[in-house]
Every structure is written in C-alpha cells, then in structure tokens.
Amino acid sequence: MFSTRVTSDLTPNRLSAAIARLRENRVEFDDLTESNPTRVGIDYPVRLLEALARPSGLTYAPEPFGMPSARDAVVGDFRRRGMSVPRDRVVLTASTSEAYSDLFKLLCDPGDDVLVPAPSYPLFEYLAALDSVRPRPYHLEYHGAWSLDIDGLRRATTDRTRAIVVVNPNNPTGSYLKRAELDALAIHCRVHDLALIGDEVFAEYVLDAELARTTSVLSQGQALAFSLGGMSKGLGLPQLKLGWMVAAGPEELVRPALERLEIICDTYLSVATPVQAGLPALLTGGAAIRTAIRDRVTRNYRALLTAAPQYPSVDVLPAEGGWYAVIQVPAMQSEESLVLHLLEHDRVLVHPGYFFDFPREAFLVLSLLPRPEVFDRAVSRLLQRVEAAA
Ligand SMILES: Cc1ncc(COP(=O)(O)O)c(C=O)c1O
C-alpha cells in the first residue's frame, strides 16, 4: 500500500533501542550528540519573541518567495557578512530541509541523482528519497586536513546527475571548502549542466580563524548556485522555522530557475507570516545567541584539544568550523560496540562515525554544544574508556 519513498524497515537500530531502554528506566546519561541549541543552557534574550507579535503579522498577504521586508532583512544579513545579494534572488523557506526539497523538485526528475559528500550529514538519504532522487556519494579525504576528492567526484557524475551538494563547513568534519575546490566544482557544474547547492548553515561558526576558507558558493559566477542558510543554525532558533536560499550564477540560468521555483514555493506557501514580519528584529536581536553558541563550541573544542593529548590512542581531527568534533580511536572493536559500551557502562552518548558514512572505522563524533560541565566530565570518561580499550 505504501510508497517506497519511506523505508519499510522501521525497526530501531541497536543504539536507538539502547537509548530508549535507558530513558524508559529513567537512567541518566551525558548526551554528546545534543545538537539542539535551545537545550544546552545558552542564554536567549527573553524579549526576543516580542518580534513575532507585530501587527503586520495579522494580515495574510502571501508571496511565493516571502515578504519583501523579510527578504530585505536577509539581504542585510548577507551584507553584514560582506556579501552583496539582490532581493529578487532571495527565497524564504520554512527550513533548510525544505530548501533542499524545493531544489530537488526544481532540478530533478524521479530517478535522477545528486552528488553528496561523504562523510557528511546523514539526512541527505532521507531528503533525497522523499523526492525520489538518488544521492551518490563523493568523498572527502583526510590527510591531516580534509580535502575534496575532485577526480572521484568527476567519476561519480552520471548522465542523470543534476546537482552537487557541498556542506560548508561540513558536518561533522568541520572542513571548509577551499578556493581551488570551489573553482573546480563550479567549472565541473558548468560543463555538465549541474547546479551547485551550498549548505552554509554553519558558515559563521569558525573554529580555526587562521585557515584559508571560502564561505559561500555565491562567490563564484560560473555555475547556477544556491546558498542555503537559516535561523535554525545561524541564530540557534530552530523552533522559528525560517530558512532561506539565495540564487547566483549566470543570468540565463538564474532567471528560469527562479521562475520555476516561484511555482514550487507558491504551491506550498509554507513560511508563517509572523516570523517573516519579525525577521528584521530577530536577525538583529538574535546575534547575541550566535555569539554565545560560537563561544560555547570554541570553548568545548579547546577543552577537548587540551584533554586529549594525555590519551595517546586518541586523535582529535582538526575542525575548522561548525558544531562538531571528530575523534579517531583504535579500531579494536566495532564503532557500534564501543558506542554501546560507552552508553551502557560510562553513561556517555556519542555518534559512531558510520552514522555519517566515514569510509572506515573507528571514528566518534561529538557535539560541541553541551554545557561545559557536562562536556568535560563526559569527555573525560570517554577518553579513559577508549584508552583502556586500546
Ligand atoms: C548540514 C546541515 N544542514 C541542514 C540542517 C537542517 O537545518 P534546518 O533545521 O534549517 O532544516 C542541519 C541540521 O542539523 C545540518 O546539520
């Protein structure tokens, strides 16, 4: 009866089952997978949501791409980041996930494919399947720093490929795209008629300011490109459900893309009016949240770098940006048994690397968001366990 867009295998995996068991028995554990910024003791300005109560929010005047005042606010936010984008290229969505879905509808027929990075964000598989699109991985390689395997990406391109997704900085490797990589991607897209989708939700969370980085696909002019961002990560306000995409590239590609996107967005009109009306004030008032999150992830990343050298079997991979850290540990046992052991015996929950499609074992992924006291004690138990098992 049901579509194959949603998997028919609904049995929870061993890790989800173990978490459910602990929760059922009210056993507490330190959650180093927490990626919800509203649950980690960050101070949110208490009056911030007064911006949602503007009288203009009482009138419904639907616009496929969003209210002009809200799109202007996004233009202003890009200006703050040193980028000039015209308002007519800004499209509001309810989330970045919805922006992906809009773009898959715009670019792909059922059965077409999009190239996605590996290791990376695990939701691509679901987002693509829900739009009957196939994700095809291209690899990020680690040689002391992460780089994009551009030859592999060329080989992964098929005659059904319609787009390349880059996550910049990538989740969870924390690696930013380098200028030469962006240029090579743009040329490849141009030659093969592909669009470039830049997921830039973590762009402003720089962990290593010394390193060269390119923060937006908007900084190239060859390929049709879309920069995706939003309040969920950019301001730590996922509950407000507002994201955006900005189109760039050759005018003869951008124009027809926007004409078609308008039909898609007009079909759903999914962004609520009050959040659009409040966006100018939210972007200004929310800047303090971004700063607090940046301070938190920087603090926790430094604490991890300070603690890890006492444990020779643990290697913290350098993170250039984002909200996550990756550690490499000896592959004496599978990632799954190590993660289960950590949860059941040490009461620390981390993500196994396979969750993000790392090419081999053993890697663990830690969120850098938790409260410092939780982060420090969980990291200490984690490092001791890994060292003892080595
Ligand atoms: C790389 C990346 N893109 C997009 C999202 C989802 O963003 P949104 O809440 O705007 O859908 C996430 C959430 O974790 C993410 O890690």
One digit per residue, the tens of pLDDT, for the chain of length 390 reads: 999 999 998 899 999 999 999 999 999 999 999 999 999 999 999 999 999 999 999 999 999 999 999 999 999 999 999 999 999 999 999 999 999 999 999 999 999 999 999 999 999 999 999 999 999 999 999 999 999 999 999 999 999 999 999 999 999 999 999 999 999 999 999 999 999 999 999 999 999 988 888 989 999 999 999 999 999 999 999 999 999 999 999 999 999 999 999 999 999 999 999 999 999 999 999 999 999 999 999 999 999 999 999 999 999 999 999 999 999 999 999 999 999 999 999 999 999 999 999 999 999 999 999 999 999 999 999 999 999 987
Distance between Cα 96 and ligand 1 center (Å): 6
Q: What is the DSSP letter of 117?
A: E
Pick the CATH number of 50-285 from 3.40.50.720, 3.20.20.150, 3.40.50.2020, 3.40.640.10: 3.40.640.10
Instruction: Tell which atom from ligand 1 comes closest to the C-alpha of 35.
Output: 14
| Whether the Cβ atoms of residue 166 and residue 119 lie closer than 8 Å to each other | no
**Quick one: which of 135, 150, 149, 162 has its CA closest to 226?**
162
Task: Name, in order, each residue with C-beta under 8 angstroms of 145's C-beta and a sequence gap of 6 or more.
Answer: 175, 318
CB neighbour class for 380 (10 Å; exposed up to 12, middle 13-18, buried from 19): middle
Distance between Cα 309 and ligand 1 center (Å): 31
Residue 390 is predicted with a pLDDT of 78
- Phi, psi angles (nearest 5°) of residue 91: -125, 125
Rounded-to-integer distance, Cα 127 and Cα 29, Å: 30
Distance between Cα 312 and ligand 1 center (Å): 33
Written as six digits, the tokens of 304 are: 């991890």
Written as six digits, the tokens of 137 are: 């991985």
| Whether the Cβ atoms of residue 332 and residue 389 lie closer than 8 Å to each other | yes
Taken in order 87, 89, 94, 96, is the CA torsion positive or negative? negative
**Quick one: which of 177, 184, 164, 148 has its CA closest to 115?**
164
**Where do the domains of the chain lie?**
14-43+288-389, 50-285
Rounded-to-integer distance, Cα 286 and Cα 48, Å: 7
Where on the phi/psi map is residue 144: left (φ > 0), alpha (ψ -120 to 50), or beta? left
Rounded-to-integer distance, Cα 194 and Cα 82, Å: 27
DSSP-based three-state secondary structure for 154? helix
| Whether the Cβ atoms of residue 208 and residue 173 lie closer than 8 Å to each other | no
Rounded-to-integer distance, Cα 390 and Cα 388, Å: 6
Instruction: Tell which atom from ligand 1 comes closest to the C-alpha of 170.
Output: 1
Task: Name, in order, each residue with C-beta under 8 angstroms of 302's C-beta and a sequence gap of 6 or more.
Answer: none
For β-strands 225-230 and 324-328, DSSP reports them as: unpaired
Nearest CA to ligand 1 atom 4: 96
For β-strands 363-367 and 243-248, DSSP reports them as: unpaired
- Please determine whether the domains at 14-43+288-389 and 50-285 fall in the same fold group of CATH: no
Read off the pTM.
Answer: 0.97
Instruction: Tell which atom from ligand 1 comes closest to the C-alpha of 167.
Output: 1
| Whether the Cβ atoms of residue 102 and residue 265 lie closer than 8 Å to each other | yes
Q: Residue 225: beta bridge partners?
A: 196, 248
Distance between Cα 344 and ligand 1 center (Å): 29
Nearest CA to ligand 1 atom 7: 96
Rounded-to-integer distance, Cα 164 and Cα 181, Å: 13
Distance between Cα 322 and ligand 1 center (Å): 11
DSSP-based three-state secondary structure for 86? coil
Classify domain 14-43+288-389 by CATH architecture.
Alpha-Beta Complex (3.90)
Task: Name, in order, each residue with C-beta under 8 angstroms of 284's C-beta and a sequence gap of 6 or more.
Answer: none
Residue 100 is predicted with a pLDDT of 98
